[in-house]
Amino acid sequence: MKFTLSKNFPAKPGKLWLIIDEKRNLPEWVGRTGWGIRLASRLAGEKSLGQYGMMDSFSLTSEQGEEVSGLLTGAGAAEEFTVERLRRLTGEIVRQANKRGYEKIWLIGGGIEKTLTDEQVVEAVVTGATLGGYTFDYYRTGNTEPATLGQIGLFLPGSRSAAPLSRLAGKAQTVADAVNYCRDLVNHPANHMNAAAMRSEAEKLGQHPEITVSILDEDCLHEMGAGGILAVGRASVNRPLMIVIEYRGKPRSAKVLALAGKAVTFDSGGLCIKTTDGMLNMKNDMAGGAAVLATVRALAANSVPVNVRAAIPVVENMIDGTAYRPGDVLKMMSGKTVQIVSTDAEGRLILADALHFLSRSGPAAMIDVATLTGACAVALGDGCAALIGNDDDLCKQLTECGREVGENFWQLPMFDDYRELLKGEIADLKNSGGRHAGTILGGMFLSEFVNGIPWVHIDIASTDDVGKTAGYQIRGATGMAVRTLYRFAVQFCR
């Protein structure tokens, strides 16, 4: 998708996209045109068109013979119009434009400039269009309808200079492209996106001059004593490994942000096997690892001056005669022992090793991302991810970054009384404390392996996937947390 920014309205704009608020007022300059006068007359008789989310097409010919057509979108009350609403409307508009065969469309905001800055409009339109136009057709053999919309023009009459806004548009598109990359990784089925494929994706990332990628194979993991990763992955023909990524965006600084991402490329539940329905979408269980890969990709592509060290443990939780069992005791990389209650509580085992590994280098902060607990969906539904951590300020910063980009987070408590539920009967810990407070207990288990480093766990189990297309979200993987992590990293480097 190409984005054009201009202070001057083009002589031959082609198709138009007009955003109108509930008062249905058009920009003053539009009202002076022949087609604008006729459009205003139509709007006066259709009060519903200004309501948020309402959409319609128009085609007009003025008395002077001007032919103008395009799409109308309702913004609702001008004072309630937000950046996130514009992102969502843009996603819808892109799909509508493609259905109608539009090749180019120009945005005209009727009053939104009073609520949003030019910078906010640019970011929202670029992000919404890039995400809302996403498709996943890798495995379809029939003819698919190609997207026709190749360009969106933004008419910004009040902007002083287009150059800074063009740079902002480029950075926003890079981040949105990274989200789509994450969506691709998660949407691929497990017979394609296995440990070898994840390794290949990481090695491609390592071609960037500021990125170094190391692959810790099974032998390395044995030497390091990574008992959690090795136990979960040992029953699969796709052997376990851990991807380690170093991005040196600010080489003269010693300050490092550490990221960990759970990558269970398929989760059968192990010997505590899942039901058929419960297993169906378990290709998504590597969404945390995909989010970390995509975040580093965006940071490097935009040359963000920040240092990041990432660890992504990659396993497949399967069943054979070597599978780990309920009742087993594992010795983790940290030296702590863990009694296995459920082989379906595997994500915390591999992340525990990854977090301990990262903590040894003394990062300034650690964040892990994982589809960790089904309890998260029960607690928060599919519109919000859970946060739990040992640093309230860090949780607040992540929540605010999420709010800015349109991703919702809610911090859960980490009371000491919960720790009693994780004490093992014959080992230091057990990997499950029962059904109650499942998301909190999953996070508190991980807290045992961070060694005092400021840390936050993000549970995206309820938000990694959507069941229907709406706004800029497309049915399937969402790429959840990529934009928040990117925004946080940008602030972290300051």
pLDDT in tens, 287-327: 999 999 999 999 999 999 999 999 999 999 999 999 999 99
Query: Both 370 and 258 in a single domain?
Result: yes
Span 156-172, average pLDDT: 87
- Report which of residues 378 and 40 the model is more confident about: 378
Range of the domain at 194: 177-492
CA distances, 473 to each of 219, 422, 477 (Å)? 41, 37, 9
Query: Both 78 and 135 in a single domain?
Result: yes
Q: Is the pLDDT of residue 175 over 90?
A: yes
pLDDT classification of 20: cutoffs 50, 70, 90: confident
CATH code, 56: 3.40.220.10
SS3 state of residue 215: strand
Provide the number of structural domains found in the chain: 2
Q: Which tokens sit at 172?
A: 């926003």
User: Which residue in the block uniquely carries the two structure tokens 């946080």?
Assistant: 488
SS3 state of residue 213: strand
Give the residue from 128, 157, 186 where a domain finishes: 157
Could you tell me the strand order of the sheet in which 104-110 lies?
2-6, 151-155, 104-110, 15-21, 67-76, 55-61
Q: Which tokens sit at 293?
A: 């890969």
pLDDT of residue 66: 73
Note whether residue 170 is domain-resident: no
What pLDDT digit, counting tens, does each position of 317-336 carry? 999 999 999 999 999 999 99
Query: Both 328 and 238 in a single domain?
Result: yes
Query: Both 195 and 309 in a single domain?
Result: yes
Angle, helix 392-405 to helix 482-492, in steps of 10 degrees: 120
Q: Which residues contact 289 (CB under 8 A, 6 or more apart)?
A: 198, 243, 261, 262, 263, 312, 313, 314
What pLDDT digit, counting tens, does each position of 464-479 carry? 999 999 999 999 999 9
| Count of CA atoms in the C-beta half-sphere (13 A) of 492 | 31
Span 339-349, average pLDDT: 98
Cα gap 88→124, rounded to integer Å: 8
Span 200-212, average pLDDT: 98
Q: Is 160 a catalytic residue?
A: no
CATH code, 340: 3.40.630.10
Query: Which burial class, exposed, middle or buried, applies to 426 when counting CB atoms under 10 A from its CB (0-12, 13-18, 19+)?
Result: exposed
pLDDT classification of 95: cutoffs 50, 70, 90: very high
pLDDT classification of 350: cutoffs 50, 70, 90: very high
Span 397-426, average pLDDT: 97
Q: Which of 348, 430, 483, 487 is catalytic?
A: 348
Q: Which of 110-119, 192-201, 254-263, 301-310 has the lowest mean pLDDT?
A: 110-119
Query: Both 309 and 340 in a single domain?
Result: yes
User: Which residue in the block uniquely carries the two structure tokens 């007022």?
Assistant: 25
Percentage of the chain beyond pLDDT 90 is 81
Note whether residue 317 is domain-resident: yes
pLDDT classification of 113: cutoffs 50, 70, 90: low
Note whether residue 167 is domain-resident: no
pLDDT of residue 145: 78
Q: Is the pLDDT of residue 111 over 70?
A: no
Query: Both 352 and 242 in a single domain?
Result: yes
SS3 state of residue 224: helix
pLDDT of residue 371: 98
Strands (E), 365-477: 365-370, 385-389, 409-411, 429-430, 455-459, 465-466, 476-477
Query: Both 80 and 151 in a single domain?
Result: yes
Q: Which of 95, 100, 199, 274 is catalytic?
A: 274
Q: Positive or negative CA dihedral for 134, 135, 138, 144?
A: negative
Amino acid at the residue 348: R
What pLDDT digit, counting tens, does each position of 215-234 carry? 999 999 999 999 999 999 99
pLDDT classification of 67: cutoffs 50, 70, 90: confident
Q: Is the pLDDT of residue 135 over 80?
A: yes
Span 398-416, average pLDDT: 97
Span 199-209, average pLDDT: 98
H/E run at residue 347: helix 347-359
Tell me, rounded to whole angstroms, the distance of Cα 88 from its chain centroid: 15
Q: Positive or negative CA dihedral for 271, 275, 280, 286?
A: negative
Average pLDDT, the chain: 94
